[in-house]
Amino acid sequence: MADSALKSPPSAPPPGDRDEELVQRRTFRDYFIILRERIWIALPLALLISIGYGYYQMQAPPMYYASATMQFEKPDTVVTTVGVVDQAVRSDLDLNTYLQILNSQKLKSKVMESFSPDEKKILARAGLKHTPPGGTPPGPSLGGVSFSSLHNSFLVGVNVSHEDPEAAALVANAYVNVFMKYLIENAGGRNDAALGYLNEQADRLRKESEAADAKLQQYMKEKNLLSLESSQNMVGDALKSSFGHLQDARLGLLRLEDQVRQVEDFKAKGKNLFEISFIANAPGVSSLKGQLDGLLQQQARLTERYLEKHPTMIDLANNLEITQDQLDKATSLAIAALYTQRDEARQAVKTYEAEYAKAEKQSFLLNDLGVEFGSLKRESDVKKSNYMSILNRLNETRTTTAIDKLPLHPLDAANIPGSPGSPNKGAITRTCVGLGVLIFIGVAVGLSFIDDRIKSAWDVESFIGANLLGIVPDLASLKDDEKYNLLLNDSQTPGAEAFLSVYSSIKIHSKLDFPKSILITSTIPGEGKTLISCNVAGSFARHGKKTLLIDGDLRRPMLHRHFKQQNSAGLLSWFENGAPLEGDLANHPSLGIIKISENLSLLCSGGRSKSPTELLESPVFGQLLERLKREYDLVIVDSPPLGAVTDSLLIAERIDEVVYVCRFNRAYRKHIRLYMRALRNGKNEVLGIVLNGLSPRRIEYYSNYRYYRSYKKYYGAQS
């Protein structure tokens, strides 16, 4: 039939390539399912750890935080010399040096020594709370002290944590005061000797600089120079300009003289002047020449029609005479203009030559003055530079000598904190919530990787790489007489609709037309393969296909019980009786095929066997299946689990298609994938997997198949 010959959907890879193409990609919904399934394991563990962590943090003794801020100021001059101490912060290196001094044990000792007896009692007050009766009280404690510098600034903070709020502020302010005293003591008494020497040198260099500058100004006044460099630049610019103009004038003169010689040569040889391009293109000449040529052509044309005395010919001759006269005058004017331009070019060359000679003379004069001017200028600059250098050093020394101008001052003093800074209930709560969320997600996702049992449509389609033929709900609430005959009894339960869905999927994914055979197997016992076999066979029988259901589990046959039949005849009895293949097998007594309904028949096992491989490996078994396919449209074989015995693989060698049954949360995905690969390596067409045993609620969130709830809503009132 056409509908049974439909090919598998494009999403399912070919059997031979599935293992190579599988990539585990989970969607947000898959992770939501993982979290939802393991909520009762992950959530208590996350709550226990996060609450325990929060309780531990909350039990810490309350700490008070106080902070004082100092600011370093960077001076404008940066000059040092021997004996001059510069206390200014000029780089991050200096700032880090001061931070190390603040952290030193020496400064810590000075801070402790700076406290009065009453202040030391305040520092020891917090320790008395933890002293047991009769014990020795601890001494004064500075608490936790740290120093921080704001990035890209000269601000330093002194941060103190202490169990006593007054002690925290006391220690922070003490560090600022002691550090300032340390800087003053380190700078004092070292700059006085340098100050006197720098004053003497500054006065001497000032006089020398003034004398050198006066000498330079007098020389510039005598030579009428603004400055040698500016004068040289001006003369150089004039020299370049004159030379450029002179070259242009000479080139123009050469061009004009060449044109004059050409005109005179043409006149001497009687050549046509209009062959010279600048004469032919002169203003008025070209247009008159065109008119003359036009009149001559007109005269030549009319000569054939009129005599010489004809009025038209007379007028034309007059026009030719007038035009020729005008053309001669225009040519003479063009030649005259050429001679005039040549004379003007000669005069321009003489003028530019005079200008260039004058500029060249001035340049030679300034070069002679440059040696003496440069010597005076260098002497003046050196003496001025020496004076400014010593003056800067003197100002720097005066700045560092003044104690009240020390480049450090307190910015903000520490205040007594009104409430403890730790434990911070808000921060601890946020940390606990974040920790709990991370543990909850981590445990749930981690367990999903440890727990390898099959649970969802993702496991079937993405991990195993098989088609999901359908999801069958848990039918434990139904009696055995009902659930194995749902389709035969025309039941209206959601389970019956699930099997109809499996029936449709098998037809869609099957590539073979009827008659054919289908093997239904599973990984381990108890996954519901017999339930699936009975109802799938009932589905095809219900839709008019003549179906034979064979109990292939020869070690533990169950089909005869579910249909309340005897197991005296069947496969084993047929094989023991010589395996006859002649005649009407549907009515053969040794096979004992039982008609269950109009289109459904049952072939029992005919007993039990501990070693049925003799039958299953025999060629007559395959011949039997081929003969039965002539009698029936569809042969369905209910086989043993693949993980228990190898019988299913032996049966699969003689079967056209395979349907694999997996029960929710029962078999491991790696085992299923292994057996699926074995079936495909045996060249079997595995149609897909039927996921069995899900509760209605799990069906809703373990897959995208929502038919169960929809069916219940739609048909619930009628049923």
At residue 556, does pLDDT exceed 60?
Answer: yes
Residue type at position 557: P
Torsion over CA: 627, 632, 634, 637 (sign): negative
Q: Give the model confidence (pLDDT) of 473-519 as tens digits.
A: 888 888 877 888 887 777 677 678 888 889 999 999 999 999 999 99
At residue 606, does pLDDT exceed 80?
Answer: yes
Instruction: Please report the pLDDT score of residue 521 as a whole number.
Output: 92
CA-to-CA distance for 338 and 330, rounded, in angstroms?
Answer: 12
Percent of the chain with pLDDT over 90: 12
Instruction: Please report the pLDDT score of residue 421 as a whole number.
Output: 78
Cis ω for the linkage preceding 14 (within 30 of 0):
no
Question: Beta strands 468-473 and 685-694: pairing type?
Answer: parallel
At residue 4, does pLDDT exceed 50?
Answer: no
At residue 402, does pLDDT exceed 70?
Answer: no
Whether residue 157 contacts residue 68, with contact meaning beta carbons closer than 8 Å, is answered with yes
Q: Which runs of consecutive H residues, i.e. helices, occur in 402-493?
A: 425-450, 457-458, 480-483
Residue 693 backbone class (left: φ over 0; alpha: ψ -120 to 50; beta: rest): left
Instruction: Please report the pLDDT score of residue 704 as a whole number.
Output: 47
Q: What angle do helix axes 105-114 and 165-187 make, rounded to 10 degrees?
A: 110
At residue 16, does pLDDT exceed 50?
Answer: no
Rg for the chain, CA atoms, rounded: 57
CA-to-CA distance for 92 and 102, rounded, in angstroms?
Answer: 15
Our CA angle for 46, 47, 48, nearest 5°, is 90
- Cα distances (angstroms) measured from residue 677 to each of 370, 547, 645: 100, 28, 16
Give the lowest-confidence range in 396-405, 450-459, 535-544.
Answer: 396-405
Instruction: Please report the pLDDT score of residue 13 as a whole number.
Output: 45
Mean per-residue pLDDT for 65-74? 81
At residue 675, does pLDDT exceed 90?
Answer: no
Q: Which of 625, 618, 628 is nearest to 650 (CA)?
A: 618
Higher-confidence residue of 422 and 617: namely 617
At residue 579, does pLDDT exceed 80?
Answer: yes
Residue 708: pLDDT band with limits 50, 70, 90: very low
Mean per-residue pLDDT for 336-362? 81
Mean per-residue pLDDT for 252-263? 80
159 bridge partner residues: 67, 146
Instruction: Please report the pLDDT score of residue 28 as a whole number.
Output: 67
Instruction: Please report the pLDDT score of residue 226 as a whole number.
Output: 58
Q: State the burial class of residue 630 (Cβ atoms within 10 Å of its Cβ: 0-12, 13-18, 19+).
A: exposed
User: Which of helix, strand or coil describes residue 670?
Assistant: helix
Rounded to the nearest integer, the mean pLDDT of the chain is 78
Whether residue 514 contacts residue 4, with contact meaning beta carbons closer than 8 Å, is answered with yes
Mean per-residue pLDDT for 600-625? 90
Check residue 403 and report its DSSP letter. G
Give the lowest-confidence range in 97-106, 119-128, 421-430, 450-459.
Answer: 450-459
CA-to-CA distance for 26 and 23, rounded, in angstroms?
Answer: 9
Mean per-residue pLDDT for 329-339? 79
Half-sphere exposure of 152 (CA within 13 A, CB side): 0
Mean per-residue pLDDT for 377-395? 77
CA-to-CA distance for 360 and 666, rounded, in angstroms?
Answer: 109
Mean per-residue pLDDT for 538-563? 91
Under 8 Å CB-to-CB from 253, ≥6 apart: which residues? 342, 345, 346, 348, 349
At residue 633, does pLDDT exceed 90?
Answer: yes
Whether residue 165 contacts residue 64, with contact meaning beta carbons closer than 8 Å, is answered with yes
At residue 665, does pLDDT exceed 60?
Answer: yes
Whether residue 110 contacts residue 178, with contact meaning beta carbons closer than 8 Å, is answered with yes
Rounded to 5 degrees, what are φ and ψ at 10?
-60, -25
Question: Beta strands 516-522 and 657-663: pairing type?
Answer: parallel
Instruction: Please report the pLDDT score of residue 195 as a whole number.
Output: 65
Give the lowest-confidence range in 85-99, 534-548, 645-659.
Answer: 85-99
Q: What angle do helix axes 165-187 and 117-128 make, rounded to 10 degrees?
A: 140
Percent of the chain with pLDDT over 70: 79
Instruction: Please report the pLDDT score of residue 83 as a whole number.
Output: 42
At residue 74, does pLDDT exceed 70?
Answer: no
CA-to-CA distance for 20 and 8, rounded, in angstroms?
Answer: 18
CA-to-CA distance for 394 and 636, rounded, in angstroms?
Answer: 111
Helices and strands (DSSP H and E) totals, the chain: 25, 12
Give the lowest-confidence range in 191-195, 261-265, 554-558, 621-625.
Answer: 191-195
Q: Which of 651, 537, 552, 553 is nearest to 595 (CA)?
A: 537
Cis ω for the linkage preceding 589 (within 30 of 0):
no
Mean per-residue pLDDT for 216-227? 68
Residue 235: pLDDT band with limits 50, 70, 90: confident
Complete DSSP assignment for 261-303: HHHHHHHHTT--GGGSHHHHTSTTHHHHHHHHHHHHHHHHHHH
Q: State the burial class of residue 167 (Cβ atoms within 10 Å of its Cβ: 0-12, 13-18, 19+).
A: buried
Give the lowest-confidence range in 206-215, 582-591, 640-649, 680-689.
Answer: 206-215
Highest mean pLDDT among 77-91, 458-472, 495-509: 495-509
Instruction: Please report the pLDDT score of residue 278 as a whole number.
Output: 72
At residue 645, does pLDDT exceed 90?
Answer: no
Number of residues assigned to the chain: 719
Higher-confidence residue of 474 and 600: namely 600
SS3 per-residue string spanning 616-654: HCCHHHHHHHHHHHHHCCEEEEECCCCCCCCHHHHHHCC
Residue 89: pLDDT band with limits 50, 70, 90: low
Instruction: Please report the pLDDT score of residue 624 as a whole number.
Output: 92
At residue 12, does pLDDT exceed 60?
Answer: no
User: Which of helix, strand or coil describes residue 605?
Assistant: strand
Q: Which of 651, 686, 639 is nearest to 468 (CA)?
A: 686
Instruction: Please report the pLDDT score of residue 29 as a whole number.
Output: 63
Instruction: Please report the pLDDT score of residue 26 as a whole number.
Output: 59
Instruction: Please report the pLDDT score of residue 348 as a whole number.
Output: 83
Higher-confidence residue of 184 and 654: namely 654
Residue type at position 377: K
At residue 25, does pLDDT exceed 70?
Answer: no
How many CB atoms sit inside 10 A of residue 617's CB? 11
